[in-house]
Amino acid sequence: MKQLACLLCAGVAGLMSPAHAQFDAKRLWVNAGFYSAHFDTDQGLRNANPGLGFEYRLDDTWSATAGRFINSNNANSSYVGAYYQPWTFAGVKLGVVAGAFNGYPNAFNGGWFPAVLPVATLESGHWGLNIAAVPPMKDRLYGAVSFQLKFRLQD
């Protein structure tokens, strides 16, 4: 799993290299963790998942993302990944986010694991919202609809 995380980090770094484009602050979003509406409400899970993350829009379809947050099991988690959103419907970007997470005690002993999640994104001016569906993984990870508020410093 460490190789997967390193590969994803290298890929994201490569996509953001000067060979592809110059840094544009208007493409950078700061993410404030997540709010997770869990399907199993009787498990004593934490719905508010504060954290700090960054998302950089590479073009109209691709974004790179990474961050850290307190997960629903009240443990620290990190993530790295890429959004692929080739469709737009009524101003909402639709696609998937693929990457890797860690820090879930029942999933791979807290180590890194891959994930591909369907995602919808609304962006307007300085504010945006990512909405992802997190499927349950038996007793390893509880499913939820996850909301991630984001802020762009420059419009």
Q: Which residues contact 4 (CB under 8 A, 6 or more apart)?
A: 100, 112, 114
The Cα 112–Cα 105 span in angstroms is: 11
- The pTM assigned to this predicted structure is 0.84
pLDDT, tens digit (0-9, with 9 covering 90-100), for 98-112: 999 999 988 889 999
67 C-beta neighbours (distance < 10 Å), count: 20
Neighbouring-strand partners of residue 137:
141
Task: Give the H or E element holding residue 10.
Answer: helix 2-15
Question: Mean pLDDT over residues 60-89, rounded?
Answer: 97
pLDDT, tens digit (0-9, with 9 covering 90-100), for 3-17: 544 544 555 555 555
State the residue for tokens 């998302």: 55
The Cα 76–Cα 40 span in angstroms is: 21
Q: Where are the domains of the chain?
A: 2-152
β pairing state of 92-101 and 76-89: antiparallel
- Which of the four pLDDT bands, split at 50, 70 and 90, describes residue 2? low
Q: Select 2-152's CATH number: 2.40.160.20, 3.90.1580.10, 1.20.1440.130, 2.60.40.420.
A: 2.40.160.20
